[in-house]
Copies of this chain bind each other. A is one copy, B any other.
Amino acid sequence: MIEKRIAEILRSGEPDETVKVQGWVRTKRELKGFAFIEVNDGSSMASLQVVITEDVAGYEEFIKKANTGASVEFEGVLVASQGKGQRIEVKAISIKVYGESDPETYPLQKKRHSFEFLRDIGHLRSRTNSFGAVFRVRNACATAIHEFFQQRGFLWVHTPIITASDCEGAGEMFSVTGFDLNNIPRTKENTIDYSKDFFGKPTYLTVSGQLEAEVMAMAFSNVYTFAPTFRAENSNTSRHLAEFWMVEPEMAFCDLKEDMDLAEAFLQHIFKYVMEKCPEDMEFFRDRIDKTVLETAENIINNQFERITYTEAVKLLEKAIEKGNVKFEYPVSWGTDLQSEHERYLCEKLFNKPTIVTNYPAQIKAFYMRLDDDEKTVSAMDILAPKIGEIIGGSQREERLDVLQRRLLAQGMKEEDLWWYLDLRRFGTVPHAGFGLGFERLVQFMTGMGNIRDVIPFPRTPQSAEF
């Protein structure tokens, strides 16, 4: 296994140090009597330059085989680099090709490829600069999330992926079954005989771990999920995936204000962490993908988030329309959800910083959100960020049994399906709150990548489940 990665050599290697380098050839340049090889092992955006003189044993065969994509190993000595843009390079003493890469058939050549093309070769695209940067940043985001919660004593809890409750209320669900679809057992009444299925009842892929996270918060106070969730919505857009990862913290003894405080600190922590750990990758995104990514990150890190109620937001939007300051495609009126054009106007034009909109009308929000005293709004909050739009949604949860029962029935749900969830309000109920972050959305915003399919290694979308 690699003892010292290229990232480390580039960062702290000193002249005269002996190193062993293993990785894949990015480029090869032959000159008279020597050659330069750029080798990359995925640990950093930058490749390490290796100089090989023709007196090194096996030079000619090596040069023939060491094409773009080939796997190679070098032993050599570090020397200060003559070239610009690099501090240090390797003078090779011994060289080896592990696996060749035929230039006629290897799909990744030096020219830039479209992201559409690269999606078709999802098994190779991580070897490009763009996807190398995306997945390093993705890993940094994930690590920042665990670090944030673990430092604060939150437990990472694993809520179920397969669920029998179809009432989580967040869209269409995939069915999971042990049945042979060609031969589904039927009852005498010719309905599906679910008693013969693996779980003895209809089961689905979860759309959210929140309800089960609430169970865990009622025992451990502060918990979070970080797990895959699913939507069977036929949305073929650049912002939808059928399978995506979600982060859902849940805190006991917590109200909406504390929920917002935590979410704000959380987002700032992640952006700060990535800026610190992946500066080269972030600069790459600025230079090649979206020139505003660093500003967007700084805007999140350095601002205290604006906080306004939904009712105030509607008034501000109405006033702006009235004054002729803005034209929207969709109308604004109290009681309907804000559209993304409204959200962006609020956080980009009016406040130019992350903006938390709170206390939305009850009828447009989920049954579990806590009803405010006016009985018209609920203690929900959405965080909107400039250039990004909605990035986090959360709420204080309804902890009062009678109110929850009422809200649940009003939305056509049945108490017996959520008996255990109601029990949390029967035994030692407490004010509690939480929020949800779509992990791929976060990575998309962080990197400026235009299509969400390009921030998850193997995207699942309508008509596509490759690799």
Contacts and interface: CB of A to CB of B under 8 A. Distances in A.
A158 interface: yes
Interface size class of A (residues with CB under 8 A): 35 or more
Contact of A73 (B122, B146, B175, B253): B253
Interface string A30-51: 0000000000011100000000
Contacts of A150: 143
Nearest to A125: B219
A175 B177 CA distance: 5
A135 B227 CA distance: 17
A311 B169 CA distance: 56
Nearest to A141: B156
Contacts of A142: 156
A14 interface: no
Contacts of A254: 1
Contact of A428 (B71, B159, B200): B71
B24 A428 contact: yes
Interface in A230-250: 230, 232, 234, 242-243, 245
A181 B7 CA distance: 51
A24 B399 CA distance: 15
B467 A69 contact: no
A176 B179 contact: no
Interface string A4-29: 01011000000000000011110000
B215 A425 contact: no
Interface string A416-445: 000011011111111100000000000000
Nearest to A217: B42
A157 B463 contact: no
A160 B467 contact: yes
Interface in A273-324: none
A127 B162 CA distance: 23
A98 interface: yes
A103 to B, nearest CB: 10
Contact of A457 (B42, B122, B215): B215
A58 interface: no
A447 interface: no
Interface in A100-119: 100-102, 105-106
B219 A161 contact: no
Contact of A156 (B131, B139, B172, B421): B139
Contact of A160 (B1, B71, B163, B460): B460
A155 interface: yes
A198 B232 contact: yes
A192 B184 CA distance: 12
A127 B163 contact: no
Contact of A253 (B2, B232, B252): B2
8 contacts: A2-B222, A8-B153, A22-B430, A43-B220, A138-B158, A161-B243, A199-B242, A420-B467
Interface of A: 1-2, 5, 7-8, 22-25, 41-43, 69-71, 73, 98-102, 105-106, 122-124, 126-127, 131-132, 135-136, 138-139, 142-143, 146, 150, 153, 155-165, 172, 174-179, 181-182, 184, 191-192, 198-203, 205, 212, 215-216, 218-222, 227-228, 230, 232, 234, 242-243, 245, 251-254, 258, 261-262, 399, 420-421, 423-431, 456-458, 460, 462-467
Given A160-B457, A200-B465, 15 more contacts: A1-B222, A22-B252, A99-B425, A105-B426, A135-B155, A135-B216, A136-B220, A159-B457, A160-B458, A161-B161, A175-B177, A175-B178, A182-B192, A198-B462, A201-B465
A-B complex: 9 closest residue pairs judged by Cβ atoms: A99-B429, A42-B220, A126-B219, A123-B420, A71-B428, A199-B465, A139-B155, A200-B463, A1-B258
